[in-house]
């Protein structure tokens, strides 16, 4: 047993002792992945589920009972969780095993008490659990403190990194404009105010950014906006003079982060008053306050702790009115995203050209272009190429680009069997060395002031098998089919998901993740409310012009290899010959630029239209990126984008 797993076992025992001594005794403890803002990616100090279980994936839920420890996660992480969980844990596969609330209702005793940190669970989840628990009169109990924090003795501190004002030249829309539109929606719904808890929504609304969460330029904060005032709840140590003046000019009161619960109570009783003055507020003076008694929350992102301060009949539980305006990019954001993806594509090409050279020089690989047999690693390598060392080089290429602010998620740099772990995260001391005879999958992205990027390319520096080629080609066919889709307004990502899977299904293949997610404008790399997926939630929001979404089908063979191809797309209006039903039609514009490895393509499996698509994409790649490259890199890209033919 390793020292880390022994420590986790001890923490598990300590946690159970706290549960037993609690009043009332806690029969089971829920430990979500999320923080107090229901974030997907959380700060180091909020990784409670990771601390107690050892599972490092971004999605999952732990349940500790008096005798068992269980972890639920989705298909992206089945293999990773199997590898990381100790034998004291049981993996529960979402979509295959019963959901956590069903398992609790079926397996725990009548009147069992299930503890939860009410800050780390959404209203939606809490109400779903409570409904399931009625079966045996079980109780979801809101703990006054998080029990995991009590056993986490070396929990990372709360850093005070400064809030940053995000300039309108990148945001494309002023705070005043956004607040005006938000208040119009409040009036329309007869709401007196809204509680905004999602970090990217606060950042987008107030045009601020921060460094509180790795890879996501957000600041730990809340916002309350009423018809007459606006409030920003943040650790005041993070507030510079510039931010203080900016907020004052925007009519926004700055309050301490932990005052939000008290202020929600004041909001509920109609007593929340602001001191900031904003000339745009005179429009509300004739509003009948009695008619505007509702308080808007998004029950998917608002935590139970804040919801509990409202009367149930007072809460207007609708999707956040910020979600859609944030997802539908304005012209300046779209321009920025296009520019950011060009610079990012140049970095990826520089990386692939460098890696190709390194693999040939150090590992005797046939290289990116050749399928010659055999490879011979040098006996005494000065610098060994590992999954981590090469991904660091990719980051270095990106760091040279204008407006670079960091990565948008941990780079998935994966060789051979590791590429089959969908959200694999290599670590320096345990990661694999590169291998000329195995597939290499790299899923990466960056944060730039003018946009967020996310790209995946899969390559082989030796001789790929015919099976690997046919699998890669099936993934590419699905990737092209989605990219080329034309569809009527009102279509959801649930309806489009099948396009990317059909070429795989024809061979009896598939993948366990969604096909596309929204992407932020120098914000979160995963952004809703829309998505392209088989999951029912993808039915909720139709795609609209000016949304961004990824196109990323894949195929994974456990213990062998993984393939994924990913571009970012912008939804745009389509120019169709007809307009049935007067709906208007939509299509996609791809803004990601990096070649597909043609030696992995079995062109006999492509249609003439697909071959034309690849050749046009490659031609555009060369024209768009060459001005960013040196002579050797240009030559590499010229060769990488040579036209393919059906007989090649």
CATH number for 196? 3.40.350.10
Residue 97 is given by DSSP the state: B
SS3 of 6, please? helix
Distance from C-alpha of 472 to C-alpha of 467, rounded to nearest angstrom:
9
Show Cβ contacts of residue 17 under 8 Å, excluding neighbours closer than 6 positions.
Answer: none
Q: What are phi and psi of 600, to 5 degrees?
A: -90, -5
Whether residues 434 and 492 share a domain: the answer is yes
CB contact set of 13 (below 8 Å; sequence gap of 6+) = none
pLDDT of residue 282: 40
CA 59 from centroid of its chain's CA atoms: 10
How many other CB atoms are found less than 10 A from the CB of residue 457? 22
Residue 609 lies in a domain: no
Nearest to 194 by CA among 292, 127, 113, 287: 292
8 Å CB contact between 591 and 341: yes
The boundaries of the domain holding residue 292 are 164-276+288-321
Phi, psi of 560 (to 5 degrees): -130, -70
Instruction: Residue count of the chain, please give it.
Output: 648
Structure tokens at 600: 């992995």
SS3 per residue for 618-634: HHHHHHHHHHHCCHHHH
Could you give phi then psi for residue 204, rounded to 5 degrees? -65, -45
**Domain boundary at 112, 130, 151, which?**
151
Q: Based on the fold, state whether residues 395 and 267 are members of the same structural domain.
A: no
Provide the 8-state DSSP code for 214.
T
How many Å apart are CA 538 and CA 586, to the nearest integer?
A: 17
DSSP state of 432: P
Considering the domain boundaries, does residue 643 fall inside one? no
| β partners of residue 117 | 143
Report, as ranges of residue numbers, the positions in the chain whose pLDDT lies below 50.
277-287
| Nearest alpha carbon to residue 572 among 552, 593, 546, 549 | 546
Closest residue by Cα to residue 474 from 507, 428, 447 = 507
Residues 312 and 199 in one domain: yes
Residue 135 shares a structural domain with residue 188: no
Can you read off the two tokens belonging to residue 240? 């510079």
d(CA 50, CA 73): 12
Note the helical H segments in 384-516. 387-399, 466-483, 493-505
CA dihedral 530, 536, 537, 542 (to 10 degrees): 40
Residue 111 backbone zone (phi > 0: left; psi -120 to 50: alpha; other: beta): left
Q: Select from 603, 620, 639 the last residue of a domain.
A: 603
| Cα(266)–Cα(598) distance, integer angstroms | 62
* Cα–Cα distance, 566 to 188 (Å, whole number): 39
pLDDT score of 380: 64
SS3 456: strand
Output the domain CATH number for residue 483. Answer: 3.90.230.10
Tell me how far the alpha carbon of residue 325 is from its chain's centroid: 18
Query: According to the model, what pLDDT value does residue 279 have?
Result: 41
Same domain, 317 and 369: no
Is residue 191 domain-resident?
yes
Cα 521-527-533 angle, rounded to 5 deg: 135
Do the domain assignments include residue 616? no
* Cβ-proximal residues to 481 (8 Å cutoff; 6+ apart), any chain: 499, 500, 502, 503
Shared domain check, 352 and 316: no
**List of E strands, 202-354:** 208-209, 221-226, 230-234, 253-255, 294-297, 315-317
Distance CA 472, CA 476 (A): 6
Return the beta strands (E) in 162-272 as ranges. 164-165, 191-196, 208-209, 221-226, 230-234, 253-255
Long-range Cβ contacts of 81-84 (<8 Å, 24+ apart): 81/55, 81/57, 83/421, 84/53, 84/54, 84/55, 84/56
- Would 156 be classed as within a structural domain? no
Q: Is 587 helix (H, G, I), strand (E, B) or coil?
A: strand
> What confidence score (pLDDT) does residue 289 get?
53
pLDDT at 619 (0 to 100): 98
Whether residue 491 contacts residue 586, with contact meaning beta carbons closer than 8 Å, is answered with: yes
Q: Return d(Cα 572, Cα 522) in angstroms, integer.
A: 21
Instruction: Give the per-residue pLDDT at 76.
Output: 85
For the chain, how many structural domains are there in total?
A: 3
Report the C-alpha gap between 387 and 431 in whole angstroms: 6
Q: Are strands 61-65 and 28-32 parallel, antiparallel or unpaired?
A: antiparallel
113 bridge partner residues: 139
Same domain, 200 and 147: no
Claim to verify: residue 548 and residue 472 sit in the same structural domain: yes
Query: Are both 270 and 387 inside the same structural domain?
Result: no
- How far CA 258 is from CA of 48, 211, 230, 267, in Å, comes to 20, 19, 16, 15
Which of 41, 38, 94, 37 has its CA nearest to residue 63?
A: 94
Answer whether 0.85 is exceeded by the pTM: yes
pLDDT at position 377: 66
In a domain, 637, yes or no: no
In angstroms, rounded to a whole number, what is the distance separating the alpha carbons of residues 283 and 293?
18
Q: What is the largest CA-CA distance in the chain?
A: 82
Q: What is the pLDDT of residues 110-168, one digit of tens each?
A: 999 999 999 999 999 999 999 999 999 999 999 999 999 999 999 999 889 999 999 99
Same domain assignment for residues 137 and 38: yes
* Shared domain check, 311 and 365: no
pLDDT of 463-479, one tens digit each?
999 999 999 999 999 99
Peptide bond into 529 cis (omega under 30): yes
pLDDT at 290: 56
| Order of strands across the sheet that contains 439-444 | 412-415, 439-444, 455-460
- For residue 38, the number of C-alpha atoms closer than 13 Å in the C-beta half-sphere is 21
Task: Give the separation between CA 282 and CA 277, rounded to whole angstroms.
Answer: 10
Q: Answer yes or no: do 445 and 310 share one domain.
A: no
| Inside any domain, residue 642 | no
């Amino acid at each position: 047993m390793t020292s880390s797993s022994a420590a986790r076992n001890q923490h598990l025992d300590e946690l159970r002792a706290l549960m037993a001594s609690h009043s009332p005794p806690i029969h089971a403890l829920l430990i979500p992945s999320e923080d107090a803002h229901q974030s997907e990616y959380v700060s180091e100090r909020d990784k409670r589920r990771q601390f107690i279980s050892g599972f490092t994936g971004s999605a999952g839920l732990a349940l500790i009972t008096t005798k068992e420890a269980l972890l639920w996660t989705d298909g992206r992480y089945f293999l990773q969780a199997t590898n990381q969980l100790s034998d004291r844990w049981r993996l529960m596969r979402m979509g295959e095993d019963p959901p956590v609330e069903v398992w609790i209702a079926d397996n725990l005793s009548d009147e069992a008490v299930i503890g939860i940190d009410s800050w780390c669970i959404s209203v939606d989840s809490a109400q779903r659990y409570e409904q399931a628990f009625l079966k045996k009169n079980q109780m979801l109990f809101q703990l006054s403190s998080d029990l995991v924090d009590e056993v986490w003795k070396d929990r990372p501190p709360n850093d005070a990194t400064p809030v940053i004002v995000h300039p309108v030249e990148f945001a494309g829309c002023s705070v005043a404009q956004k607040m005006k539109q938000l208040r119009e929606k409040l009036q329309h719904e007869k709401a007196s105010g809204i509680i905004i808890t999602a970090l990217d929504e606060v950042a987008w609304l107030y045009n601020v950014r921060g460094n509180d969460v790795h890879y996501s330029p957000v600041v730990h904060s809340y916002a309350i906006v009423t018809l007459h005032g606006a409030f920003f709840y943040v650790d005041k140590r993070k507030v510079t003079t510039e931010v203080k003046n900016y907020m004052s000019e925007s009519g926004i009161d700055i309050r301490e982060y932990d005052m939000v619960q008290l202020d929600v109570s004041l909001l509920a009783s109609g007593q929340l008053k602001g001191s900031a003055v904003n000339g745009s507020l005179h429009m509300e003076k004739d509003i009948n306050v009695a008619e505007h008694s509702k308080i808007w929350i998004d029950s998917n992102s608002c935590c139970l702790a804040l919801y509990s301060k409202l009367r149930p009949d007072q809460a207007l539980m609708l999707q956040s009115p910020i979600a859609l305006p944030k997802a539908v990019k304005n012209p300046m954001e779209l321009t920025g995203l296009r520019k950011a993806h060009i610079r990012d594509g140049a970095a990826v090409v520089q990386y692939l050209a460098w890696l190709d050279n390194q693999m040939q020089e150090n590992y005797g690989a046939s290289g990116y272009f050749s399928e010659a047999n055999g490879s011979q690693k040098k006996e005494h390598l000065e610098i060994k190429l590992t999954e981590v060392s090469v991904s660091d080089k990719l980051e270095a290429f990106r760091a040279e680009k204008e407006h670079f602010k960091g990565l948008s998620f941990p780079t998935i740099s994966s060789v051979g069997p590791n590429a089959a772990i969908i959200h694999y995260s290599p670590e320096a001391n345990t990661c694999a060395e590169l291998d000329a005879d195995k597939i290499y999958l790299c899923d990466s992205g960056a944060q730039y002031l003018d946009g967020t990027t996310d790209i995946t390319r899969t390559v082989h520096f030796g001789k790929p098998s015919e099976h690997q080629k046919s699998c890669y080609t099936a993934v590419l066919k699905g990737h092209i089919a989605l990219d080329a889709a034309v569809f009527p307004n009102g279509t959801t990502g649930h309806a489009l998901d099948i396009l990317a899977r059909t070429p795989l299904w024809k061979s009896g293949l598939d993948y366990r993740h969604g096909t596309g997610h929204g992407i932020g404008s120098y914000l979160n790399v995963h952004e809703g409310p829309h998505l392209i997926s088989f999951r029912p939630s993808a039915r909720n929001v139709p795609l609209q012009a000016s949304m961004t979404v990824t196109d990323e089908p894949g195929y994974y063979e456990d213990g062998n290899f993984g393939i994924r191809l990913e571009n970012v797309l912008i939804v745009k209006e389509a120019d169709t010959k007809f307009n049935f039903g007067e709906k208007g039609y939509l299509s996609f514009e791809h803004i990601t630029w990096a070649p597909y490895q043609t030696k992995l393509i079995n062109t006999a499996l492509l249609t003439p239209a697909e071959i034309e698509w690849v050749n046009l994409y490659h031609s555009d790649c060369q024209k768009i990126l060459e001005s960013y490259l040196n002579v050797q890199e240009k030559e590499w890209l010229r060769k990488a984008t040579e036209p393919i033919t059906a007989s090649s």
